[in-house]
Structures are given as structure tokens and as C-alpha cells.
Structure 1
Amino acid sequence: MQQATMEQLADATGEMGRLIAGIRQEQWSGPTPCADWDVRALVSHVVQGSARFAVALGGEPQATTADPTAAGFERNAAVLLAAAGRPDAASRIVEVPFGRVPGAVALHLQLTELLVHGWDLAVATGGRAGFSDQLAAQELEFTLGALASVPPDRQPFAPPQPVRDDAPTLDRLAATLGRRIDAPPS
């Protein structure tokens, strides 16, 4: 499996920032593919998740924010990029929802989080997620391998959903993590 890179993280946070900045006022209360979250709750989750990963990788907690806006995400993304760029970030052991993992694994998890929630946000707002297909393929490969090692009682995702073999890679990743590809949010 290919090692995740800082350049990939910078590109993914940049694309997520673009998606968040493109949310129109009337879309903030709209539904998303995540049944329990509207657009505001999804963005809040992404903002807070970026802060958690940043702190786990050695970032300063006081430098992060819970502000569920494009500015809040940009602030946390900057802290995340700085923390992930630390020399010990890849080898640092960090706590994630299903256990302790090396920072290199946490970086893959953060990339996957950005890709899938970017997909969610694009579906919810009628936009297009502009993540690279190469990155989506890399994180799909990572996800398929990682899911096999997640204990059943700590599974943070919905069951995989059917998807066409020729679907875009990002759609296949989203379906692997429980998103229905054929239905808009309700």
C-alpha cells in the first residue's frame, strides 16, 4: 500500500475547504447522506474531526476551533497540516475511535474521512467533489484492508452498499463505508 503524503493531505484539506466555502445559506439545514446529520452537523463533524486528528498528531489544542464554517475548517486544517508535518507524526501512536494506531495510519484515516465526507457534502449541496481519483483509489485500498481489522463491536460505519464496478472510485469508497450511491439524501 502506498504511504499517504503531506501533499495529499494538503490537497484533500484544500478541496474540503472549497466544498465548505461553497455551501449556500439555504443549504446549511439540508439533509446529507449521513441520516442523522444535516449539512451544518456534517461540517461540524469534519471541523471537529480535523481538530482531533491535529491534536493527536501533536498539534496544540488551543490552536483549533469548533467553528463549523469554512473559516473554522481552514483554521483546523492549518493546525492539522503543521502537526502532520512534524518529524515524529508518522510514528507517533494516536488514539482513534477503534483503538491506537501509528500516525501513518491516522493520516490515511483522516484522508478517508475528508474524501467520504467531501462526497457527502457534494451530494447534499449538488456540488462535485474534486478529489483526485488516484487518492480515492489509494484510500479505497487502505479502507478495504483496514475494515478487516476493525472489531465488529467498534465498527463506526454503516454496512457496505452495492455499487457498480465501473462507478467512480470515490463513489466506490463511499459505498464501502455505507453510503447509498443511487439515492439522494432524504
Structure 2
Amino acid sequence: MPYRRFTIETMKSRLEQARLAGFIYQHGSTVLALQQALNEDGSALNNFAQHGLSSDQIGLQFGLHLADGQWRFMLGVTHSNQDRGLEIGAGHLKGEQRAFNLLYAFYNCPKGFYSVSMPLMANASELEDAIAQQLFHIPELAFLHSALKISPAGQPAQWIKAFILQQALGMKVRMQSALL
């Protein structure tokens, strides 16, 4: 793909032209994080979900990371709930996670931040596998398995997990399209 040789400045310019976000934050020379992600029509993208039976919430953020000459799609996930005993500060984020710390401003008491990384060229199946391997097995996020909704056919569906996968795939495809 032609964007393998894109500099961070070129990548940022292309993403800004595509209007994927209200602002694209550049963290150092390797990370671009979308702040205030937008839908294709320019409206605010819903990047939050809350479990119906608990106070657990997640917030999603998207970005790109240049590592070893390869562009990688990044998904940042903030977890929050009302247990103040586990509260952490944004200053505890390390490395590329610091690029995503602006999402913390939306939470009263964040408990954790997790990032998922995969090649920008990953297909839908590879994206799903990366998210499942890097996110869905984290013990602190076990509430994702019990966030169920019943489909019209009467089948239970893990809706927050499906929401994460749908939003991540949609934004990754939009980023790829903006770079063509």
C-alpha cells in the first residue's frame, strides 16, 4: 500500500482532510490519536457504552502508530466504574497510551486504560482476533461477557463486545480509505 512510506505529517494531513475527527493529536513522531471522532456525516461518533446492570463503562478512541516502519491501527479503551478504590490518574499512562489520555476527561473515576494494536492492513477477521486476544481476556473487563441483549430471534448477543468490534472496524476502514 502506498501509505507505508507516509510520514507522520502526511498521515495526519490525510486524516484531517477526511474529517475523521474534530482534532488529530500528534504524540511525538510515532502516534496520531483521533480526538472527538466523527461519523461520516460529521456528527459525533458514539464511542461510549455502559453495562446495563453495573456502573461499568467503556470509552473508545482510535489512532495510528508508526512502529518499525509499519503503520498500525490502535484502539484505546478506557474502563470506568464507581469503585473509587481502583481509581488511577492519567499520569500513570505509559508510552503511546499517553496519546489517548484526553479521553480521561470524560470520566469521573477511570480504572484502566487498555490499547489494542494491529497492522493497519489487518482484515476484519484479523481485527476481531487482535481485539479478542488483546482485550476480551483481561480480567478487569470481564463485565463485557455479561452485557447481553436478546436479538429479535431470541438469541443472546454480547452487545458491548459487538459494539467495540463494529466501531473499531468502521474507523479502521475509514482510515484506510482516507489514505488511498
Q: TM-score, normalised by structure 1?
A: 0.33
Query: Which one has the bigger helix percentage?
Result: 1
Tell which structure's C-alpha radius of gyration is larger: 2
* Greater share of strand: 2
Q: TM-score, normalised by structure 2?
A: 0.33
